[in-house]
Amino acid sequence: MTSTTTSERTLYNEILEATPHGERLNLCLQCGMCSGICPYGFAMEFPPRSLIAALRAEELTSALDSDLIWLCVSCFACASVCPVQIPLTTSLLTTFKAESMLRGKVPSELQAALENTRRYGNTLGESPRRRPEWASHLSPPVPLMAEAKEPVDVLWFVGDYASYHPRTQVVSRAMARLLRALDVNFGILGPEENSDGDAQLLSGEKGLYEMLVLKNGKAFAKYQFKQVVTTDPHAFNVIKNEYPRAGVTVPIQHYTQFLAERLDQLKPLLHRELNARVAYHDPCALGRANSNNIYDEPRQLLQAIPGLELVEMPHNRANTICCGGGGGGNWLDGFVWEQAHARTSEWRVEEAVRAGAEILAVACPYETPRFEDAVKSTGHQEELIVKDIAELLSEAMRD
């Protein structure tokens, strides 16, 4: 143990102080609800309850020596069911991940994502200059804030995956079409936008998160806009709930909230019939994370599409099954598969098929590629397709 790592008692105190209501760790009843609901709790050596027990017994060493803390995908399930409302995800689990990292234990794929963030401001290791390229062939073009001559109403925070990943770029273009159709005065930051920092914060890299807040905060401060709208629930979650603590406060909505408010304007434009059964997957970051509780607006949008039959899956709303991509999870698939031999995204896909859905509707940029992979790995290519709500709305606008 090097001198830079924390002693047992200090770590306990650090966690207590780390987040608001962290002192609630003292209230833990050891009831085990958290370990029970954790999607990968079965494979962890120290699921949340056991971690607290180890903390209290001042036997952190074995907990910290295990690298299975990285099975936590920051889905907030534990925090949402804890009877004494301990903020387990953001305090206990994140701090343990941070300690693990200080001890040099971080899976290599996640390490690459973090190093890419430091160097390029995005987890994919792409050139920052090419961040707005997803929009380059759109006509009319998507306005860059740097080129806007007047204040805009909406600063659209696009996000890493939505900017660079080929599958999610399609969703971004659909969103651009929707904003145009609604005559929204908007702009994007383009190369001035950096990773939102949600995954970096939740995976324990606080210093990196702080660097991102600083950069994004500077970009926000340069321009005049009424609010931020984002297509990324993780960006929504972190900018709404964490950025203010770091000194950056901007009004922010997830795009489903923004569009739901404008349903009167949007609905007449949706004339193409879909004729399919659609199940909506509630993203953790939009719903149970930090009690964001956005469940109705996405459903309102879907039900506005003619011919769309909305079906519900048993695990919905606050009880949703995580896609496995949060808190750094998007870069831990290899590690998780090796340890757990299970994928939550596959559980979700099976549930959608059993609920009779033909389309799995999502509202998060990680989910389209993740669930499409799961559809293939479970062999349901003929039965289920995955679409973002923005894509479905955009397609409903076509002639």
Nearer to other proteins, 4 or 139 (CB): 4
Nearer to other proteins, 47 or 204 (CB): 204
> At 354, which helix (H) or strand (E)?
helix 344-354
Residue 259 in tokens? 């569009």
Query: How far apart are alpha carbons 218 and 263 in whole angstroms?
Result: 33
Question: Smallest gap, in angstroms, from Cβ of residue 169 to other proteins?
Answer: 11
Report yes or no: 41 and 73 within 8 Å, Cβ to Cβ: no
Report yes or no: 252 and 239 within 8 Å, Cβ to Cβ: yes
Question: Smallest gap, in angstroms, from Cβ of residue 214 to other proteins?
Answer: 11
* Residue 244 one-letter amino acid: P
Question: Smallest gap, in angstroms, from Cβ of residue 111 to other proteins?
Answer: 4
| 151 Cα distance to chain centroid | 29
Question: Smallest gap, in angstroms, from Cβ of residue 318 to other proteins?
Answer: 29
Question: Smallest gap, in angstroms, from Cβ of residue 166 to other proteins?
Answer: 5
Nearer to other proteins, 98 or 179 (CB): 98
Question: Smallest gap, in angstroms, from Cβ of residue 70 to other proteins?
Answer: 13
Strands (E), the chain: 152-157, 186-188, 225-230, 252-254, 276-280, 308-311, 359-362, 385-388
Cα dihedral across residues 106, 326, 195, 252: positive or negative: negative
What is the four-CA torsion angle of 182, 184, 188, 194, rounded to 10 degrees? -80
Nearer to other proteins, 206 or 317 (CB): 206
Nearer to other proteins, 21 or 105 (CB): 105
Nearer to other proteins, 52 or 170 (CB): 170
Nearer to other proteins, 45 or 210 (CB): 210
Question: Smallest gap, in angstroms, from Cβ of residue 109 to other proteins?
Answer: 5
- Footprint of other proteins on this chain (CB under 8 A)? 4, 98, 101-102, 104, 106, 108-109, 111, 114-115, 118-120, 125-127, 129, 166-167, 204-208, 210-211, 331, 333-334, 337, 373, 376
Query: How far apart are alpha carbons 266 and 261 in whole angstroms?
Result: 9
Query: How far apart are alpha carbons 119 and 296 in whole angstroms?
Result: 38
Query: How far apart are alpha carbons 40 and 218 in whole angstroms?
Result: 38
